[in-house]
């Protein structure tokens, strides 16, 4: 987990660049990680949810199917 919201955004933005979709998975392992993730959510007015048991990768990655 990056130390701040700017670094987090920079890293996850690599998942979907040049107009493509992408998927980023973040592992929160301690309270510091949780605080950073909360700062990201507050700063960008978004809600980051837990990874569901099953995901349709075609929703996130073009040209891919389950």
| Residue 38 to residues 22, 28, 33, 49, 50, Cα–Cα distance (Å) | 21, 11, 9, 11, 13
User: Could you report the per-residue pLDDT of 5-61, keeping only the tens digit for each?
Assistant: 888 888 887 776 677 777 788 899 999 999 999 999 999 898 988 888 887 877 766
pTM for this model (two decimals) = 0.64
DSSP codes joined into one string, 2-65:
-SSHHHHHHHHHTTS-TT----------SHHHHHHHHHHHHHHT--PPPPPSS--GGGTSTT--
């Amino acid at each position: 987990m990056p130390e701040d919201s700017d670094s987090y955004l920079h890293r996850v933005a690599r998942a979907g660049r040049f107009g493509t979709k992408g998927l980023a998975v973040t592992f929160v392992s301690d309270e510091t990680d949780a605080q950073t993730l909360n700062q990201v959510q507050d700063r960008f007015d978004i809600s980051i949810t837990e990874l569901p048991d099953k995901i349709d990768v075609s929703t996130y990655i073009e040209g891919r199917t389950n």
